[in-house]
Structure 1
Amino acid sequence: MVGVAGKSKGCHTCRKRKIKCDLSRPTCGQCARGSWKCEGYKKPVVFLNEYSTTYQASSTRSPIASQDAGIKGLSVTQNNQQLLSSEQAVRSREEKLNLQLFSHAVNTAQYDQILASFVTFCLPTQTSEEVPLAWLSSLAREPKKSRALLLSSASLGYGWMGHVENRVDVSNNGRRFYSQALGRLRSTLSQPALISDLLPTILMLLLYEIFEYGTQSSAGWISHTEGIETVLRLRGSHPFTDSLEFQMFHFYRTVGILKGLTTRKSCFLSNTEWAYTWFPGHTKNRFDELLDLAVIAPGLLDQADNIPAHDTETQSALVLRISTLIHQLKIWEESKNVRLPQGPPHAFISSSASMMVTDQMQPRVHRYPSKHPQSLGIAFDELQSARWLLFEWAIALMLYTALYSKPSLSDCLKDESILGFLSCAYIKLTVQEADLLTEKIMMWADFCSQNAWQSFGPAIAIISIKAAIQWYKLRQRTQLANLLPIDAQHQLKKCHSMLNHMTYCDRFS
């Protein structure tokens, strides 16, 4: 496109110096007073490229294409002998613009299509339980507004396709799109206002980190959770009015709790106002109620790690809170009619001090979800129920470990006031109860992390096995080993074997 540069009527010298011109002719007064050579009022001709700064100010081009880096506009004078004719320049400009817009349209369609394919092949249908990644289905139907969101969608889609087809080049494209999306995100965050696409963009990048690198070997997903928390806090805890925004928040509750349990730091979602941040007409189901309890645990673990050594009053209060939460978790399991599916392929013998672990653990594939389960006959609802039970057991076991790992806390269980409270509330806290939780975790962790609609399966399984490892290390101590002797060393080996089996691909990412 050929155009006339600038809108000022001043002489070219004043315009370059960015001073006000008095428009005197043939030489302006500003140049005369400054003893500058007045270059006159004839304006130069410029070529405009859709990637140039000048052209970006236009409201007639694609908002996505304008954000890409490109060739800057070239300024030339009319006297330049190499200047193309206006007709040739217009034709060349239109051809380039058509090609670039077509290329952008193709790329956008490809990004949308690969995300739609991911949703189609990875998310279950006809389920009674809510699917954690259901927000991806809603997002796939929404028009993409920002380049960062398009790139983050492409990173997830290409990463999944690369592992499905076992193509390194496609997986590398996913990493490339991920890096580009991060660059776009940094640029977006430098703006004073938050755009609506910011939350889904960071969530998409978080999914890529979890699926591509796992929760075991990468701190990237935790970094993204901090960004998501910042966005949510800036939004505020008022009720949601947008269905997609609520779905994303609903999904993030599990991620936020996983992050809190991993870092052993209190989660902002435990604040009272966020417990009531909901979507009008949407009632909490039994898993939402579990999360309402689970979100309290990271804060209790944080307090247990940093409790003053001689503050007996604070210690007693903390023991009561931990005991109450363990009891509430158990009540949830018993009252919500959560049932385990028919499996896993080994028997649990409660009368035995050891557990029977299958010799043939579920074959591991990469962390990306798949609609086709490895074990036959297991529906999403059944598998999801098993995962939530595993999550509950892991949280309770971590609380048991916090109680018994510090003598100052475990000794509080012997105080008459606390014993009286526990007795009146019918709360039973024993080492044997924790042992039973650990056995159930070892029994079901591998089954729940199979590559069938993963929905945090591997992440929950990994954190549960780590909880079992910490408990068995604690059981090796003399004061606990004498209560009910078990071969803690042997069980530790099994735990580490399972953990290595679940995280094998972390070593090759």
Structure 2
Amino acid sequence: MVGVGGRSKGCKTCRRRRVKCGANSLTLQSSNASSLTTTDEAKPFCGRCDKAGIQCDGYVQFGEFVDLTQQMVKKGSSNLDTPRPTPSITKSASCGPNVIEVPPMPLIRNPSRDEQTIFSSHLIDRLFTWHEDPASPESASWISALLLSSEDSGVLSFASTRALATSYFAKTHSHSDLMRKGAGFYSLALNTLRSQLQDPDLVFQDNMLIAIICMAMYELVTYHQPTGWLHHYRGLARLTFIRGPFRHQSGVAFSMLPMLRSCILLGYLVQRKHCFLETPEWKTIPWERVGLHQKLPLDNLHDILCDIPGYLEDLDNLGNWPSGRTGKEVFLASVRKRIFTSLESLHSWRWEWEKDFPASTYTISPNGLDPETSRPLPPSPFQSVIWFVNSYRANELMTYNAIRLILTRSLELSGLNPEVANTTIASDPLLPKEGTRHDVAIEICRMVDYHLHCFRRSSGAFMIIFPLNVAYLHLDEDTYGIKPWLESVMDLVADTHGFEIGRRENMPRQTANLRSHCHPKQD
């Protein structure tokens, strides 16, 4: 495990921006000469963020993983595939008028020492960034378990985490030799998994779930088998069901529950089948320990999402209802009522979110982003894009919009038209009952710039794969070339962030069942 000894004690915002926080802050004076200025690290929020007029995310109160790839670069190393450019100090508009930044150095492609530590820390720093939540130290516990596994090659956690870490590093650095090495670890993990599934004690260990999540993400990265990730998600569902909700009330099992539920639900959405997570015990028991846990906004969204796979199956059953069978109208009324209730719950969630997190969004020009701090994206077809005060609000609103699209279309297929507010000027972002499905899909697309900004690293790219696939299916009109732009964005998700499943030619395979939901033959 990469520890935190000697880690900067600066606030999370300044560290993410790669600027000094507190003592020895480097500033630009009016004379354009640089000087060192000593300031105190104010608590709970730093003075630098306050002076720059940006939100400070506070200080890390628990162990944090560190990406060591840059620390391992050696002068004159023969392992570098490309010459190392001379760093230049540039002024960043997004970091305030008096802040300068030094661009990060390139990563080595063939590390000569401690390569597994490098691969693992790279994975944690680039992808599993949600362990950094300062409000919940437990959120880091299952991520921590990734790097606490035994070095014994016969242990499942060793093989699965090494397979993902090695292949992810290889994919993001275009290293074919390392990709083959990752495939070797993956083969070892599959064989070990088959053996351990026969052990009644090992099946109930938390590490089993973590290992399968890693193996599913390996398939998302490599895409060797188009349905490999789905098979792992189904396996997660079976194991989780057998474990029961009481095993997820604390520790690693509780901290990984949001990730676990999202994986399982995605699998059931693709299959269009009722999910066991829709039952009341799975929506309540893990959070029943009074005073210890409370549901977060994303947890409440997942509760609504838990019901949707069942709605899709019910709609399929209505479409295939035998001509001589009675009771169709009664069943249809029941389906309509349940879908409508879920949509109303989603609207209530959105209003509550608006009340609890006012001013969490604002709009900016896509051409106004600082090129020194943002990743290059395909030319935007939008005049403005939606920005957020932090990544938690961004993930929540993106998920909300994807759920809204699926629920709205489900209600339409049941024979009811959702009520739309008769307003000529809608809010930005849209409030409940504002806008059509096409408008909601456009709103998802307008969040891409934020999610793919460099400070999100690759976690934002991972977050938007499913919502963008859903949005793509609901773009009924394309007068502004939004679909080609979206396809280019998905290629970037594959090439830059490593998720091969997101590539444009792979999109139809992943959304075949949802496509029939959005564009059925009878339409």
Flag whether TM exceeds 0.5 (same fold). Answer: yes
CA distance in 2, matches of 1:363, 1:207: 25
One-letter code aligned to 1:436: D
Give, in angstroms, the shift of residue 138 of structure 1. Answer: 3.7
Which of 482, 501, 513 aligns to 1:494? It is 482
One-letter code aligned to 2:332: Q
Partners of 1:462 and 1:499 within 8 A in 2: no
One-letter code aligned to 1:167: H
Partner of 1:409: 415
1:169 aligns with 2:174: no
1:267 aligns with 2:270: no
Partners of 1:275 and 1:292 within 8 A in 2: yes
CA distance in 2, matches of 1:334, 1:240: 29
- Paired residues for 1:405-484 under 5 Å: 406=413, 409-410=415-416, 432-450=435-453, 452-453=455-456, 457-458=460-461, 460-473=463-476
Which of 212, 216, 233 aligns to 1:206? It is 216
Which of 137, 140, 144 aligns to 1:137? It is 144
1:438 partner SS: helix
- Paired residues for 1:120-135 under 5 Å: 120=125, 122-124=127-129, 127-128=133-134, 135=142
Partner of 2:314: 303
1:119 aligns with 2:158: no
1:278 partner SS: helix
Partners of 1:114 and 1:157 within 8 A in 2: yes
Which whole-Å deviations, capped at 9, do the CAs of 1:290-327 have from their partners, x for residues lacking one? 21122112211221232256822222222222222122
- Paired residues for 1:173-212 under 5 Å: 173-195=181-203, 196=205, 197-212=207-222
2:210 partner SS: helix
Higher helix share goes to which structure? 1
Which whole-Å deviations, capped at 9, do the CAs of 1:395-427 have from their partners, x for residues lacking one? 1111212232x3x6237x79xxxxxxxxxxxxx
1:345 aligns with 2:362: no
Consecutive unaligned residues in structure 1, runs of 5 or more = 1-108, 348-360, 366-377, 415-427, 474-487
Give, in angstroms, the shift of residue 433 of structure 1. Answer: 4.0
Partners of 1:329 and 1:396 within 8 A in 2: yes
Partners of 1:390 and 1:445 within 8 A in 2: no
Partner of 1:314: 331
- Distance verdict in 2 for CA 1:327–1:132, change over 3 Å: farther
Give, in angstroms, the shift of residue 330 of structure 1. Answer: 1.9
CA distance in 2, matches of 1:456, 1:267: 26
Partners of 1:362 and 1:450 within 8 A in 2: yes
TM-score (norm 2): 0.57
Give, in angstroms, the shift of residue 283 of structure 1. Answer: 1.6
Which whole-Å deviations, capped at 9, do the CAs of 1:451-477 have from their partners, x for residues lacking one? 65467644553333333343344xxxx
- Distance verdict in 2 for CA 1:455–1:295, change over 3 Å: farther
Partners of 1:364 and 1:502 within 8 A in 2: no
CA distance in 1, matches of 2:216, 2:174: 22
Partners of 1:445 and 1:464 within 8 A in 2: no
1:229 aligns with 2:217: no
CA distance in 1, matches of 2:453, 2:407: 26
CA distance in 1, matches of 2:139, 2:490: 21
Partners of 1:155 and 1:175 within 8 A in 2: yes
Partner of 1:389: 397
- Distance verdict in 2 for CA 1:451–1:302, change over 3 Å: farther
2:183 partner SS: helix
More divergent stretch after superposition (242-251 vs 391-400): 242-251
- Distance verdict in 2 for CA 1:494–1:436, change over 3 Å: closer
TM-score (norm 1): 0.58
- Distance verdict in 2 for CA 1:219–1:449, change over 3 Å: farther
Partner of 1:15: none
- Distance verdict in 2 for CA 1:450–1:183, change over 3 Å: farther
Partners of 1:111 and 1:150 within 8 A in 2: no
1:276 partner SS: helix
| Paired residues, number | 344
- Distance verdict in 2 for CA 1:129–1:241, change over 3 Å: closer
Which whole-Å deviations, capped at 9, do the CAs of 1:66-102 have from their partners, x for residues lacking one? xxxxxxxxxxxxxxxxxxxxxxxxxxxxxxxxxxxxx
CA distance in 1, matches of 2:488, 2:305: 26
Which of 245, 251, 260 aligns to 2:259? It is 251
Partners of 2:128 and 2:459 within 8 A in 1: no
One-letter code aligned to 1:199: L
- Paired residues for 1:40-59 under 5 Å: none
Give, in angstroms, the shift of residue 239 of structure 1. Answer: 4.4
CA distance in 1, matches of 2:126, 2:146: 16
- Distance verdict in 2 for CA 1:220–1:453, change over 3 Å: farther
Partners of 2:213 and 2:232 within 8 A in 1: yes
CA distance in 1, matches of 2:183, 2:145: 24
CA distance in 1, matches of 2:458, 2:298: 13
Greater Rg over alpha carbons, structure: 1
Give, in angstroms, the shift of residue 166 of structure 1. Answer: 3.6
CA distance in 1, matches of 2:233, 2:310: 17
Which whole-Å deviations, capped at 9, do the CAs of 1:334-354 have from their partners, x for residues lacking one? 21234644455349xxxxxxx
